[in-house]
Amino acid sequence: DTAVSQTPKYLVTQMGNDKSIKCEQNLGHDTMYWYKQDSKKFLKIMFSYNNKELIINETVPNRFSPKSPDKAHLNLHINSLELGDSAVYFCASSLQMGNEQFFGPGTRLTVL
């Protein structure tokens, strides 16, 4: 059983396009997260949702818009993609804020 799943696994697109990444967790967790991992492997928090409510929004361009239709899903929409958006995006969940996190397999985004 996949605990935290993301789609798609790979995404290759042109600069200026709009794309979405989907995340689902079947762990019954209240909190979900989006992280960006750059080429140097540094894992940087982008957003955190607790029970569908946005809790943390780090310094992220407003081209990035998360949406949580229910507490098991957290999607990430990116408008007007730029070269610097190329990275691996990880979704994660935890029972509550501050607890250990379970990560999805990642979405490798390449912007050409």
Partner 1 sequence: QKEVEQDPGPLSVPEGAIVSLNCTYSNSAFQYFMWYRQYSRKGPELLMYTYSSGNKEDGRFTAQVDKSSKYISLFIRDSQPSDSATYLCALGRAGGSYIPTFGRGTSLIVHP
- Closest listed residue to residue 37, CA positions, set 74, 112, 90, 77: 90
Kindly identify the residues of this chain, within the stretch 56-85, that bind partner 1 according to CB under 8 A: 56
The only residue of 90, 93, 109, 111 in contact with partner 1, by rule CB under 8 A: 90
Per DSSP, the three-state class of 26 is coil
CA distance linking residue 59 with residue 9, whole number of Å: 25
The binding track of 8-47 with respect to partner 1, each residue x by CB under 8 A or -, is -------------------------x------xxxx-x--
Terminal-to-terminal C-alpha distance of the chain: 34
Interface residue list for partner 1 (CB under 8 A): 4, 33, 40-43, 45, 48, 56, 90, 92, 96-106, 108
